[in-house]
Structure 1
Amino acid sequence: MVKTPDQIAYFVPDIREAAAQHAATFGSGPFYVAEHIRFSSCLYRGQPSDWDHSSSFGQWGDVMIEFMQQNKPGPSSLHDVFPEGSNRYGVHHMAYIIDDAPSHAAELAGKGIETILHGVLTNGIEVIHVDTRARYGHLIELCTRSKALSEVYDFIREQSVGWGGSDPVRTIEL
């Protein structure tokens, strides 16, 4: 996997506020908020998880920006990077769209890089978080290329073309 990231994701206390500030400061966007993102399956450190988080997605040049917030307390890949109660925020992961995320995660595991989260959203989008904190200070997210994932990325990118800055924070269903 030799490519530039498709997405930079930040853990923030308020995804709407972070999106509005990023749009105002850098001209990115518009941002689309997905509340309580639902999984058909989610394993955190190999155990079933009901991870409840919300995200806002916007385009910043060639890269998608994601702001993430956790909606209820408990262990998660967000709290692995930014411990619960620490009031620390920042870059959580860089995401890459690849053909086979599970195979690549297995290859990385053979190199000592642990899988923290493996989830499939209800729309079929598959995401894997691998632990690269010791090397880079953040996680890597591997996303399996799919029609559903392409539709989300294409929609966000298309909405940014010619966007004049109005209505910078909107909603979306995933």
Structure 2
Amino acid sequence: MDSAASFSPVASAGQLVQTAFVTLDIHSTIKEMTRRLGVGPWFLRERGVFPRQNYRGKPTDTALAIAMGYAGDMQFELIQQLDDTPSVYREILDRSGPGLHHFGMAAKDYGAALDHYASAGYELAYEAEVANGARVGYFDTKGALPAMIEVIEFLPATAKMFAGFREAACGWDGRDPVRPRT
């Protein structure tokens, strides 16, 4: 192997692009992460219910507030569940409280990435179609990692959205730290 750039132990599984956290109060978490870590601006959807969701094999309609922001090349996602439905978010909150929830892996071949993690013995705990038509799947790593793994179907619309969030963070002067996301 001639360079570190050619080393990709999980190429079929996608590329790490996101670290996500569950919170009980998305607004206070945004404020603290902006103040303490310089993350921002944040793009916030105050309430959303994905059109198709399955939690551990059963349909669900979990309502979420979701914010995304950048610090350098790292994307941070904050998730606040807005109801009491059983979910991957509630699992973590009930087990350990607010904190690290998942690592997001951008996958151009969604099916291959799902197969990769399933063949590693991880259970597909949640799957949904998000607003731009992309699919996401969360794998329960059963303690092998300190968080779940989210496979993000990296469609052109997803790439464009993430690039827009990152571009807004480049040279950000701290004004308008929270921006609405539809």
Same fold (TM over 0.5): yes
**Counterpart among 164, 169, 181 of residue 155 in structure 1:** 164
Question: Are 1:82 and 2:93 matched, yes or no?
Answer: yes
Q: Deviations over 1:77-107 (max 9, x none)?
A: 1122221xx6711100010101122332233
Q: What SS does the corresponding residue of 1:5 show, helix, strand or coil?
A: strand
**Counterpart among 159, 164, 167 of residue 176 in structure 2:** 167
Gaps of 5+ in 2: 1-9
Letter in 1 for 2:44: V
Partner of 1:49: 60
Question: Are 1:58 and 2:74 matched, yes or no?
Answer: no
Q: What SS does the corresponding residue of 1:130 show, helix, strand or coil?
A: strand
In 2, Cα distance between equivalents of 1:107 and 1:5: 14
Cα distance 1:88–1:40, how it changes in 2: closer, same or farther (>3 A)? same
In 1, are the aligned partners of 2:24 and 2:80 still within 8 Å (CA)? yes
Runs (4+) off by over 4 Å? none
After TM superposition, the structure 1 = structure 2 runs for residues 46-125 of structure 1, keeping only pairs within 5 Å, are 46-83=57-94, 88-125=97-134
Partner of 2:43: 32
Q: Deviations over 1:99-127 (max 9, x none)?
A: 12233223322321000111101320211
Gaps of 5+ in 1: none
In 2, Cα distance between equivalents of 1:122 and 1:169: 20
Q: State the percentage of identical aligned residues.
A: 27
Equivalenced residues, count: 171
